[in-house]
């Protein structure tokens, strides 16, 4: 194509490979998470500089609770320390801090810090950074279905009136556009129960880089690759295949 796509409005990232990166370096897994947290901050800055409006980071899945207790405690402590040290910077940098997932699963003290950070940054007008914590996309869709079913049972909504917009409006992401680009690090070719409804027409970018190695330069490559693609949304098809 002759012209480039505009910068994506919403980028979602599956930040994978911290543990494998640490093992490759001969370090403990927790060191990979520590470096990964620093990388997340670098990518937040890069997204802001590019004028991206929404950045959603898959930080901790519902399934991650099965990990060793020590690793979970380290991750919770790492997030807690991040919020303590970065709250003022988040507000000053005009970032809107957001969380999706079942935060009631998290330690009480961490829940309070998350709420405090969201409250302090809610009037900002810049990049919306969303951390998916104790998140499961299937669970999100299930909860949305229950809310819609309750509305129907109470006579607030007819089953025939349920639309895609109804479902989208009952998801955690109701107030943001669907992702234009989904990035996954560490070379794994799977979605891992992340934003299953929302990424229906997102462009996918898979890199073999582990998350701690996913620098601003790697992020720039992903954005440039996205800009060169022809986005069809099922409206047209290439010769020999595709949607009718």
Half-sphere exposure of 69 (CA within 13 A, CB side): 0
- Cα 50 from Cα 70, distance rounded (Å): 37
Could you tell me whether strands 181-184 and 203-206 are parallel, antiparallel, or unpaired per DSSP bridges?
A: parallel
**Number of domains the chain is built from:** 1
Write down the pTM of the prediction. 0.93
Whether 39 maps to a domain, the answer reads yes
Residue 120: enclosing H or E segment and its boundaries? helix 108-121
Whether 37 maps to a domain, the answer reads yes
Residues 9-32, buried b or exposed e (16+ Cβ, 10 A)?
A: ebbbbbbbbbbbbbeeeeeebbbb
Whether 207 maps to a domain, the answer reads yes
Q: For the domain that residue 91 is a member of, what is the CATH number?
A: 3.40.1180.10
- Cα 182 from Cα 12, distance rounded (Å): 5
DSSP label at 59?
Answer: E
Q: Which residues are catalytic?
A: 16, 64
- Cα 13 from Cα 76, distance rounded (Å): 20
Whether 79 maps to a domain, the answer reads yes
- Cα 73 from Cα 87, distance rounded (Å): 21
The one-digit pLDDT tens for each residue of the chain (244 residues) are: 457 789 999 999 999 999 999 999 999 999 999 999 999 999 999 999 999 999 999 999 999 999 999 999 999 999 999 999 999 999 999 999 999 999 999 999 999 999 999 999 999 999 999 999 999 999 999 999 999 999 999 999 999 999 999 999 999 999 999 999 999 999 999 999 999 999 999 999 999 999 999 999 999 999 999 999 988 776 654 433 444 3
Domain range for 54 is: 10-136+178-227
């Amino acid at each position: 194509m002759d012209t480039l796509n505009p910068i994506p409005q919403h980028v979602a990232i599956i930040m994978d490979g911290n543990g494998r990166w640490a093992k490759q370096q001969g370090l403990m897994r927790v060191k990979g998470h520590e470096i990964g947290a620093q990388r997340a901050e670098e990518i937040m800055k890069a997204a802001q500089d590019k004028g991206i409006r929404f950045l959603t980071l898959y930080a901790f899945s519902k399934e991650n609770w099965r990990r060793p207790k020590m690793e979970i405690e380290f991750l919770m402590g790492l997030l807690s320390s991040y919020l303590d040290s970065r709250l003022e910077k988040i507000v000053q940098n005009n970032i809107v801090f957001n969380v999706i997932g079942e935060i009631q699963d998290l330690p009480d003290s961490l829940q309070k810090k998350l709420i405090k950070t969201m409250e302090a940054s809610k009037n900002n007008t810049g990049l919306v950074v969303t951390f998916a914590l104790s998140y499961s996309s299937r669970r999100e869709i299930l909860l949305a279905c229950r809310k819609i079913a309750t509305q129907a049972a109470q006579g607030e909504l007819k089953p025939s009136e349920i639309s895609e917009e109804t479902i989208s409006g009952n998801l955690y992401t109701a107030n943001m556009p669907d992702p234009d680009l989904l990035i996954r690090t560490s070379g794994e070719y799977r979605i891992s129960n992340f934003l299953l409804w929302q990424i229906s027409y997102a462009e996918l970018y898979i890199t073999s880089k582990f998350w701690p190695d996913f620098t601003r330069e790697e992020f720039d490559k992903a954005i440039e690759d996205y800009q060169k693609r022809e986005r069809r949304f099922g409206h047209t098809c290439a010769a020999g295949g595709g949607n009718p």
